[in-house]
Amino acid sequence: MKAAHKILLTVSIIALGGCSTVWTRPNTTEAQTNLDRAACDQEAVTRFPVVMIMGPSTTTPAQTTCSTQKCTTVPGFVTPGQQMDSNAGQRQGELNKCMKAKGYTLESAK
């Protein structure tokens, strides 16, 4: 399995774990829904592959504290940005578009 697909699968599992919505279509089995979802996932990842980028970093400036005859400086530091997938939103939009084109609707889980 390609690294991009592993990342997409991991992201999908995490997203579904916190989600309370499901794709539904009348007279459609869960197995067929899973096949359609997999096809749409593949289409979405092909059009919008995983592109990991670094988010913005933050910088804390140095701080100097002085007493009567002595100053102490604590150096600043940089906190690197978090890695993120710059195509995640577009890929999710493509998945939604594909599933809707197949006749599915996204509904709250019961």
Average pLDDT of every residue of the chain = 87
Coil, helix or strand for 51?
coil
- Alpha-carbon distances, residue 51 vs 78, 86, 91 (angstroms): 24, 6, 11
> What percentage of the chain reaches a pLDDT higher than 70?
83
pLDDT at residue 30, as a whole number: 95
What is the pTM for the complete model shown? Answer: 0.62
What does the CA dihedral 66, 67, 70, 72 come to, rounded to 10 degrees? -40
Confidence class of residue 14 from pLDDT cuts 50, 70 and 90? very low
Is there a contact between 33 and 25 (Cβ–Cβ < 8 Å)? yes
Q: Mean pLDDT over residues 27-47, rounded?
A: 97
For tokens 């991991």, name the residue. Answer: 10
